[in-house]
């Protein structure tokens, strides 16, 4: 069983403010979030001539817009060896086959790691929002890793596995002695698949249940079965406290921990 409720606080408030809109890119659509609500739109609704009326009403001269890609494909590279000119070389050729794309990169707050990622050149959103009108383009794993590095840490083992749960996947960030080691992502459809990939990861690194801590990013009602499943095998469990209350729209977001994040 889990021993009590262990919540750790983030050091920064990342809540969306008035006159800000955060656009979250997923494979099949976009989520537009402001400081009041969050709405999902299929990509098919966006063309060069048409867009949802609610989106059309956004005044880009008065509203600050951030764009966060939730494409799971990104590569963390040590800053010392990162080559901006050769970003394409960091991705598998099979990943980029037959698509036109543009590469981007984020430098983490610590400045020692770069996260490189790409967006399709024909991304529907860019038909509506010129890139010069978007204040920030970033990747969700950059936000997660910055959050983990900056969070308060106490009562951890030397080895820590941070878990970011999403509706159809989860992300792992593995730290040893407070140093980022690696990350991975797995697509899942149910609790059994979550456990399968979690234990696959722990076996790869010879992690027995007493040798590491687990930290979930946030705690959400929608993932309660996954929390219960992991408690059967692990007791050293923590939760990184949510910066907001679990509003309904947050729980319905595909990646709830970042539901109202403005980078």
Give the three-state DSSP class for 132. helix
Least confident of 33-47, 130-144, 147-161, 228-242: 33-47
Q: How confident is the model at residue 36 (pLDDT cuts 50, 70, 90)?
A: confident
pTM recorded for the entire structure: 0.87
Q: Which domains does the chain have, with CATH numbers?
A: 152-244 (3.30.420.260)
Tell me the C-alpha distance between 120 and 214, whole Å: 35
User: Residue 48: which H helix or E strand, with range?
Assistant: none
User: What are the pLDDT digits (tens) for 58-74?
Assistant: 888 888 888 899 999 99
Please report the pLDDT score of residue 262 as a whole number: 65
Please report the pLDDT score of residue 191 as a whole number: 96
Q: How confident is the model at residue 16 (pLDDT cuts 50, 70, 90)?
A: confident
**Alpha helices of the chain — where are they, by DSSP H?**
53-56, 93-96, 140-150, 191-204, 224-231, 248-252
User: What's the whole-number mean pLDDT along residues 86-96?
Assistant: 82
User: What's the whole-number mean pLDDT along residues 65-84?
Assistant: 92
């Amino acid at each position: 069983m889990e021993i009590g409720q262990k919540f750790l606080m983030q050091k920064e408030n990342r809540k969306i403010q008035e006159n800000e809109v955060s656009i979250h890119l997923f494979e099949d659509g976009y989520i537009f979030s402001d400081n009041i609500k969050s709405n999902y739109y299929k990509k098919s609704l966006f063309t060069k001539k048409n867009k949802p009326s609610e989106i059309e009403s956004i005044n880009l001269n008065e509203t600050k817009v951030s764009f966060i890609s939730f494409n799971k494909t990104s590569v963390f590279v040590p800053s010392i060896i990162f080559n901006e000119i050769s970003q394409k070389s960091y991705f598998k050729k099979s990943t980029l086959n037959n698509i036109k794309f543009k590469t981007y990169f984020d430098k983490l707050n610590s400045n020692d790691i770069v996260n490189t990622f790409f967006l399709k050149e024909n991304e529907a959103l860019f038909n509506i929002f010129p890139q010069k009108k978007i204040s920030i383009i970033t990747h969700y794993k950059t936000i997660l890793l910055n959050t983990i590095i900056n969070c308060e840490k106490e009562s951890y083992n030397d080895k820590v596995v941070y878990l970011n749960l999403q509706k159809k996947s989860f992300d792992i960030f593995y730290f040893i002695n407070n140093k980022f080691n690696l990350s991975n992502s797995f697509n899942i459809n149910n609790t059994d698949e979550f456990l399968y990939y979690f234990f696959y990861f722990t076996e790869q690194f010879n992690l027995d249940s007493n040798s590491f801590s687990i930290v979930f990013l946030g705690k959400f009602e929608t993932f309660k079965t996954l929390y219960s499943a992991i408690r059967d095998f692990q007791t050293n469990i923590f939760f990184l406290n949510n910066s907001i209350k679990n509003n309904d729209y947050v729980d319905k977001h595909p990646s709830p921990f970042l539901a109202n994040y403005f980078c």
